[in-house]
Structure 1
């Protein structure tokens, strides 16, 4: 299965991997800026998000992303990943370091990270709401936690629409026998220069992950945004665009 995707612009490639609270539409504020700066921007929907369905059987999402790049004739790319998309970006960069020119991780997750009590409590509450059939309540829970305090109502509504759609797709596929292939990345294999961005209003997990990665990845830089929650590229897109463009221009 090929994930749903779109391509904008020409030049050095940038693959955008969205947060699992959202879908590829979260990158709308970045696509035009990156394309205008001379990049070929590829963005895809992760499994069960946007226009990518939940597949039947074993499915390797990292390998599917690399195959998509092959189909597009992209031999090298920068990766920009948000949260769960950052986790996938790390997996791709570890498996195929020869294909990754740069790695920008916004509030990234990391497979193998020991979750905080705050994140555990959120997961339990979300699961309880979904089991009770309160999908709207689960959406509200996500918006309240993941969108930073300085985001406007329009941004919150965008996240609400994307999260609701993801729940609808995933709940409709509850009986699908999906077996995701998930591997903990060998961080020592990653060679790309890395930008790590975190938000001061996010859960502590994501700063801990960034600090850890900054200590083990080569040529890594960690930037904490004092105004940001978990989705800074949506909360203040102009500021994040400037950070990304500066990093990708090096």
Structure 2
């Protein structure tokens, strides 16, 4: 990267390949997810150090609840242990955490964990680390539409005033700029119901590395590829 001017303001990451990495290395799915958390924290630290303002990780989709019971239990344990194992490091890096997704349908224990990490980092004014948990892009839009309908019904909003900016104000990401760059690991080339409203003009970089193998140099290469692209936002040829 030549300068901070070439950096994307907001990078989002679809972390794919934990389980395939585990199988490749003759390890359990749990080991794949554990190593994936280590990679997440490492990339967050690097992004913070080089001046990325917003970094979003697709950590757990609503569809992920369909996985096996043992795997789900372990993923929830990882969530619970994040505060004790990693939060001090995040705080030292002056990183602020925000969780987006369908939070209301989570258990009280999960809500408490989310509230704790958000409250303990809310005074930080460095990079914004957003984790999409119990999230799906379609669900986010449905929840936004329901809120808009309720506002119209209560007389707080006129139907004629509803436009794209109105919808944006009711999304989970209403205080977050749209992602400039979305990176997906694991070799797949699809968006998997992630930030479908916000990503209309995002640049995508797909890498073959499974998420636990996603290293700093690969991250920097993705940023360099982004910097060399010309963003047209629907204009030009």
TM above 0.5:
no
TM-score by length of 1: 0.34
- Per chain length, whose mean CA-contact separation is higher, i.e. which structure has more relative contact order (CA < 8 Å, sep 6+)? 2
Radius of gyration: which is bigger? 2
